[in-house]
Amino acid sequence: MAKLFASEYCVAVTGESFRIHGGYGYSQEYEIERLMREAPFLLIGEGTSEIQKTITSRGLLREYRSNPDASPPAL
């Protein structure tokens, strides 16, 4: 869950920063150009976000099937 959250957040924040930089976002003079190239890898490497969600969902379902009266975790 931490990897999923951190990856998605990083890509979102990088995208926002890119927009704030305007045309400079494409310039190699600024760090944002590298971040824009590299951040999307976080959604793929070491398990894609979709697979992370599948693994998390499976774990939560298994937990609630074994204890249906438990209150859901705060997400």
Ligand X SMILES: Cc1cc2nc3c(=O)[nH]c(=O)nc-3n(C[C@H](O)[C@H](O)[C@H](O)COP(=O)(O)OP(=O)(O)OC[C@H]3O[C@@H](n4cnc5c(N)ncnc54)[C@H](O)[C@@H]3O)c2cc1C
Q: Which residues bind ligand X (CB under 6 A)?
A: 44-48, 50-51, 54
* Closest approach of ligand X to the CB of residue 60, in Å: 16
Report how far residue 42's alpha carbon sits from residue 10's, in angstroms, rounded to the nearest whole number: 8
Decide whether 50 or 63 has the Cβ nearer to ligand X: 50
Q: Which residue out of 31, 46, 50, 63 is catalytically annotated?
A: 46
Q: What length is written for the chain?
A: 75
Hey, what's the torsion of the CAs at 40, 41, 46, 48, to 10 degrees? 40
- At residue 70, the 3 state secondary structure works out as coil
Decide whether 17 or 48 has the Cβ nearer to ligand X: 48
Q: Is 16 a catalytic residue?
A: no
Active site residues: 46
